[in-house]
Chain A
Amino acid sequence: MKTSVFLGTLAVAGLAAGLAGAATLDDVKAKGFVQCGVATGVPGFAFTDASGEWDGFDVSMCRAVAAAIFGDPKAIKFTPTTGKTRFTALASGEVDLLFRNTTWTLSRDTDLKLDFVGVNYYDGQGFMVPKSLGVSSAKELDGATVCIQTGTTTELNLADFFRANSISYEPVPIETNAEATQKYLAGACDVYTTDASGLAATRSTFEAPGDHVILPEIISKEPLGPAVRHGDSEWADIVRWTLNALVVAEEFGVNSGNVDQLASAPTDNPEVNRLLGTEGEYGAMMGLPKDWAVKVVKGVGNYGEIFDRTIGPDTPIGLARGLNALWTQGGILYAPPFR
């Protein structure tokens, strides 16, 4: 009897705690800002500008979530997290969501009790070599010395790739990207391997970027996306559909320049109308205002605008859209319909 009362009390307390922890949206609305976990510094994705403001591809998308909820992309605070602290920061409630070029993997989605709600950048591991090496394919790298960051998935991918092609290599373990750059430029290794976006960003900092080539082989899938805590579907929905809204906005030509005009009256395109809230009550289904997507696009632009501004071909990072182009343009960026 006593035991069952005790267990019952525990269960109720656990349930109450679960409920209290679950309503992230209410917590966020109550405190008036979104607490977003970002990287401590990844070129083009998360960095601080001269005035101390956070900016970058991931950061802009996090601001989009703030814009969806509060109509203001500045209603947000950033917590820089390292590779070691990012998941505990999310699990302990220190941040509301994690937008920190984190690869979506099975174990992270299930075992670590995270919920990945989408992919904002499709990355993959590549190789960079000096042009003078005369190599045009990664399969010609037999016997090469390879600079590789220790303790990452890239290390395992590399071993898999070389074993599958039965060629040998000599790893040069390094800790950080900065160290890798120094070693690679000094000729301590023939090849530098990491995510292709990282390679491009690193190459853009060289004095003579043209002397180095990124080989065509991409040897792994690295879908980078935002993550939220397991078990709060309402909050996950908001982050997921904010991301989808950015993609759909680009697909239908809604950008920060014309969004006000398109939202002022229903247009001929019903999908645009549903996105911008001039038709239906789609915002209310998520507990958001009717014009949430208008604020998102107005605040940070659509997916293509964010990409071009932070990591696109015209920036020093100079990444091409590649896989991250819309599905209508040869990429795999595809958002479910707004209806």
Chain B
Amino acid sequence: MSKTDTRALAFVSSGTIPPSPPPSSEVGAVHWLRENLFSGWFNTILTLASIAVVVLLVPPIVEWAFLDSVWNASSLSECREKGTGACWAVINERFNQFMFGFYPPHLYWRPILTFVLLFVALAPVLFGSLPRQMLWFSLLFPVVAYFLIWGGLGLEPVESRQLGGFLLALVIGVAGIVLSLPIGILLALGRKSHLIFIKTICVVFIEFIRGVPLITLLFVANSVLAYFFPPGSNLDLILRVVIMVTLFASAYMAEVIRGGLAALPQGQYEAADALGLNYQKSMRLIVLPQALKISIPGIVNTFIGLFKDTTLVVVIGLLDPIGLIAATRADSNWNGIIWEFYVFVGFFFFIACFGMSRYSMYLERKLKTDHR
């Protein structure tokens, strides 16, 4: 240690210097803006362009959809007199038709009750915290729903042709979704089976259905099947459509689940065998829970696709929401309206599909057991 500096020390710090606040450019909104929106010339241009687009687009849309829109009118010409914006009056007038089709109005409570019960039935399946006894109701629900919607057992019968609008989309969509998952699991397991007969059937079925467009299957349901039955003894058209949609979705579901099965390490299968579990038990307790968890995004993806595909039934003359648009536009009072219908129908489908997507994210978080 050198002793070169012998001068008396004028100041000795007795503690640490208090931290000074960071420069204003490094904190708060300004920092965030600089960091995220204006970090370089390219980002700055993008930001300014985006702001310009928002400013140009949003006010006219808000004006059209809300400020200048007309909610009460009896025809398009009346709408045009009252305001320059959207003519929501047509949705207002035809709301029940868009919801239920031509379902008898005094029986609207039946589809509504079915819809409420649907959630009661779904709740124990979707959320594990609910009592398991509720699952019995879930199993019973399809029967209850059938009799509520089509009548029978003392309820006034309603014909399939009277179903329409979102009711029809939901009937086809929910039935397809609920039925395609179990069938898809069986097909996926069948495709991996060592029994050549079962395996061949599953492979042929999956490859055939995946190789044919859904529209073709719908035409088969509508036209070709009708030739197979004598006139008058028709299998219900909606039932035929549900069967075809279910078969179609099952084939896709099978491949999604097969992907999950393939992603599972071979060690899991061997571990199940080593524990002495038989086939059913090893599948039920070890393989499927893991494979299905891996497949969740793919499964929900198929569900969402299936639900949106229900609008294809318009090509066989079923009046789902899209089909009702044509029938309503043909009314001379409302002929000429286009955007309002599609905005409304699109909004409904967005809510349904977004809901499914959010649920799948919740499920993925809940089931996340790996600690990666």
> Chain A: residues with CB nearer than 8 A to chain B?
20-21, 27, 31, 39-50, 52, 56, 77-82, 84-85, 88-89, 92-94, 178, 181-182, 201-202, 204-207, 315-317
Chain B min CB distance to A59 (Å): 10
Cα A6 to Cα B314 in complex, Å, equals 44
Assess A94 versus B226: contact at CB under 8 Å? Given A44-B332, A49-B331, A205-B76. Answer: yes
Cα A56 to Cα B219 in complex, Å, equals 27
Q: Which A-B residue pairs are the 6 nearest by beta carbons?
A: A205-B336, A93-B231, A47-B330, A41-B330, A41-B326, A92-B226
B203 at the interface (CB under 8 A from A): no
Assess A52 versus B97: contact at CB under 8 Å? Given A40-B327, A41-B329, A47-B327. Answer: yes
Most buried by A among B227, B234, B317: B317
B251 at the interface (CB under 8 A from A): no
Q: Are B335 and A316 in contact (CB under 8 A)?
A: yes
Q: Are B316 and A52 in contact (CB under 8 A)?
A: no
Assess A41 versus B315: contact at CB under 8 Å? Given A85-B222, A92-B227, A205-B76. Answer: no
Chain B min CB distance to A28 (Å): 11
Q: Are A80 and B335 in contact (CB under 8 A)?
A: no
Q: Are A181 and B336 in contact (CB under 8 A)?
A: yes
Q: Are A42 and B330 in contact (CB under 8 A)?
A: yes
Q: Are B329 and A43 in contact (CB under 8 A)?
A: yes
11 contacts between A and B (CB under 8 A): A40-B323, A48-B97, A80-B318, A84-B219, A85-B223, A89-B223, A93-B226, A93-B231, A181-B338, A201-B335, A205-B336
- Chain B, interface size: which category? 35 or more
B328 at the interface (CB under 8 A from A): yes
Chain B min CB distance to A195 (Å): 14
Q: Are A48 and B223 in contact (CB under 8 A)?
A: no
Q: Are B331 and A182 in contact (CB under 8 A)?
A: no
Assess A178 versus B338: contact at CB under 8 Å? Given A85-B222, A88-B226. Answer: yes
Of B80, B231, B324, B331, which is within 8 A of A92 by CB? B231
Minimum CB distance partner of A39 in chain B: B330
Of B223, B336, B338, which is within 8 A of A88 by CB? B223
Assess A80 versus B226: contact at CB under 8 Å? Given A27-B232, A41-B329, A207-B80. Answer: no
Cα A204 to Cα B97 in complex, Å, equals 25
Chain A min CB distance to B362 (Å): 39
B205 at the interface (CB under 8 A from A): no
Cα A27 to Cα B234 in complex, Å, equals 14
B34 at the interface (CB under 8 A from A): no
B196-245 contacts to A, CB under 8 A, are 219, 222-223, 226-227, 230-232, 234
Minimum CB distance partner of B339 in chain A: A182
Cα A286 to Cα B316 in complex, Å, equals 34
B102 at the interface (CB under 8 A from A): yes
Of A81, A93, A204, which is within 8 A of B232 by CB? A93
Q: Mark B72-99, 1 if CB is under 8 A from A, else 0.
A: 0001110010000000000001100100
Query: Using Cβ atoms and an 8 Å threshold, which residues of chain A touch B102?
Result: 48, 52
Q: Are A41 and B328 in contact (CB under 8 A)?
A: yes
Q: Are B331 and A48 in contact (CB under 8 A)?
A: yes
Cα A82 to Cα B336 in complex, Å, equals 20
Minimum CB distance partner of B226 in chain A: A92
Of B80, B93, B314, B330, which is within 8 A of A50 by CB? B93
Q: Are A43 and B330 in contact (CB under 8 A)?
A: yes
Q: Mark B309-325, 1 if CB is under 8 A from A, else 0.
A: 00000111111000110
Cα A176 to Cα B326 in complex, Å, equals 10
Chain B min CB distance to A89 (Å): 8
Q: Are A92 and B335 in contact (CB under 8 A)?
A: no
Query: Using Cβ atoms and an 8 Å threshold, which residues of chain B touch A207?
Result: 80
Query: Using Cβ atoms and an 8 Å threshold, which residues of chain A touch B358?
Result: none
Assess A46 versus B223: contact at CB under 8 Å? Given A79-B161, A80-B317, A82-B317. Answer: no
B193 at the interface (CB under 8 A from A): no
